[in-house]
Amino acid sequence: MNVLLIGGGGREHALAWKLAQSSMLDELYVAPGNPGTVRHGRNVKLDLNDQRALRQLIIDKRIRMVVVGPEGPLVDGLHDRIAADAQLKGLVTVIGPTASGARLEGSKEFAKEFMFRHNIPTAQFRAFGKDQLPEAIAHIGRMEGPYVIKADGLAQGKGVVIATDRKEAEKALNEMLGGSSLGAAADRVLIEQHLVGVELSAFLITDGEAFKMLPSAKDYKRIGDGDTGPNTGGMGAISPVPFAEKEFMGKVHDRIAVPTIRGLRSEGIPFQGFIFMGLMNVGGDPYVIEYNVRLGDPEAQAILPRLRSDLMDLFEGIATGTLSERHVDVDDRSCATVVLASEGYPGKYATGKPIVGLEMVRAAHVFQSGTALDKDELVTAGGRVLSVTAFGKDIEHAIINAYASASLIEFEGKRQRMDIGRDLLQATAGKGGGAAGMKLGVK
């Protein structure tokens, strides 16, 4: 089968790497891809807004499956446009929801209302538009901090502010509703109840009827050690999460995954693809912070290596409505992912810096994201440049291995968090882990 993979980040490199392992795959095309994805398929230039060019590529390359990595094209209705194209009817399966299903990520207000309609545990909230700034500030005045303020629309993981005091909360509201760098994403904002607990990410894959749970992960959003500084797209991830054991994940399955799929069916919202459930573990009970309608980045780089099952087989189950008959097999080992970023990210950063040392990495997967080729030289081309993922018999050893491999790679302005997974080690130290004070042995 010929497959077209949409996207060009670390998540898409990980997807391309995983798909290329399948005996079911004939040819893989990646649009636009990056210098890493060419090892697994053919990169192609494609304007997703040019329906004629998209149609011609699918027909010319005999594409039978389109896998959409990022959320933007899904929210913009890429699935719908392919499905509505008379020349493509019956030819191609899209892995990723229609625009109606993508609203779970495209509008946080819609997602919260969906959760309340279907009794899915989540924080209380109120939403405000641009003409309701005084009401939003008044609402803050009636609350106790901390204050959780979210842009309603897509903001590339950077639309959430957790304000510790009222002054900071009012500043965030003024910046968002007053016209921020987030643009239309902040035309409406949500003010949520602050939940106290530990965050994690749970994932499922569904054909709209059945679903299969995938490995859990924990990502690290803030730029600085100790969860300091501004939010980013993600600076690292760990899989599995120690406290996401059988009992807790049973609650996730019964209280969140089942009613989510049932709710989509009952509302007539078709959905095929991934659902990312951003969760908070509050005293042993899961609450939904947000939905995403695709795999996370960098979580994908941590969970896909642990997936022993053929990903193409799961996608075929979606295409044929037989996902319930497919099996998900997961590696028991731990994975740690460390993101190498450009100096200045998530603000302004320089590009074009030569990257050296990749050939020295033997004990980890290196997934490329913000990279480009300058003639024959690999250089930086984005904020998050590379993701380094390593296995270990447990979290401690996975972290050590990931950082050891990351230390072999250099580029001017290289930045990384040095504490990925350390909180999990500290949490498990009293349970026989004994690794809270470990030395990572990196620069």
Q: Where are the alpha helices (DSSP H) in 61-199?
A: 71-75, 78-84, 99-106, 108-117, 133-141, 166-177
Token pair listed for 16? 């391309």
**Whose CA is closest to 104, among 320, 273, 353?**
273
How far is the CA of 405 from the CAs of 28, 102, 388, 397, in angstroms? Answer: 28, 36, 7, 12
Cβ pair 374, 410 in contact under 8 A:
no
Tell me the pTM: 0.93
- Bridge partners of 372, per DSSP, are 379
Query: If pLDDT is split at 50, 70 and 90, which confidence band does 430 have?
Result: low
Q: What percentage of the chain reaches a pLDDT higher than 90?
A: 87
Give per-residue pLDDT as tens, 312-358.
999 999 999 999 999 999 999 999 999 999 999 999 999 999 999 99
Cα angle value 11/440/331 (rounded, 5°): 45
Statement: residue 439 has pLDDT above 70: no
Rounded distance between C-alpha atoms, residue 156 and residue 71, angstroms = 9
Statement: residue 242 has pLDDT above 60: yes
pLDDT, position 432: 46
Statement: residue 180 has pLDDT above 80: no
Cβ pair 298, 406 in contact under 8 A:
no
Write the burial class of residue 82 (CB in 10 Å: 0-12 exposed, 13-18 middle, 19+ buried): buried
Q: What is the mean pLDDT of residues 211-233?
A: 94
Please state, as a whole number, how many other Cβ atoms lie within 10 Å of the Cβ of residue 347: 9
Statement: residue 168 has pLDDT above 70: yes
CA 313 to chain CA mean position, Å: 22
Give Cβ neighbours of residue 68 (< 8 Å, ≥ 6 apart): 6, 7, 74, 78, 79, 94, 95, 96, 273, 294
**Whose CA is closest to 18, among 317, 213, 307, 323?**
307
Query: If pLDDT is split at 50, 70 and 90, which confidence band does 156 have?
Result: confident
Please state, as a whole number, how many other Cβ atoms lie within 10 Å of the Cβ of residue 298: 30
Give per-residue pLDDT as tens, 285-301.
999 999 999 999 999 99
Give Cβ neighbours of residue 397 (< 8 Å, ≥ 6 apart): 334
Statement: residue 435 has pLDDT above 80: no
Angle between helices 166-177 and 133-141 (to 10 degrees): 160
Give per-residue pLDDT as tens, 110-131.
999 999 999 999 999 999 999 9
Statement: residue 443 has pLDDT above 50: no
Rounded distance between C-alpha atoms, residue 210 and residue 272, angstroms = 10
Q: In 271-283, which positions are buried (b, 16+ CB within 10 angstroms) versus exposed (e)?
A: bbbbbbbbbbbee
- Indicate if the alpha-carbon torsion angle 105, 75, 298, 324 is positive or negative: positive
φ, ψ (nearest 5 deg) of residue 385 = -95, -50
Cβ pair 226, 235 in contact under 8 A:
no
pLDDT, position 438: 39
pLDDT, position 360: 97
Cβ pair 175, 161 in contact under 8 A:
no
φ, ψ (nearest 5 deg) of residue 338 = -120, 125
Rounded distance between C-alpha atoms, residue 80 and residue 100, angstroms = 9
Statement: residue 132 has pLDDT above 90: yes
- Domains of the chain in start order, with CATH, are 2-98 (3.40.50.20), 125-192 (3.30.1490.20), 198-431 (3.30.470.20)
Mean pLDDT, the chain, rounded, equals 93
pLDDT, position 207: 97
Please state, as a whole number, how many other Cβ atoms lie within 10 Å of the Cβ of residue 44: 14
pLDDT, position 428: 73
Give per-residue pLDDT as tens, 379-395.
999 999 999 999 999 99
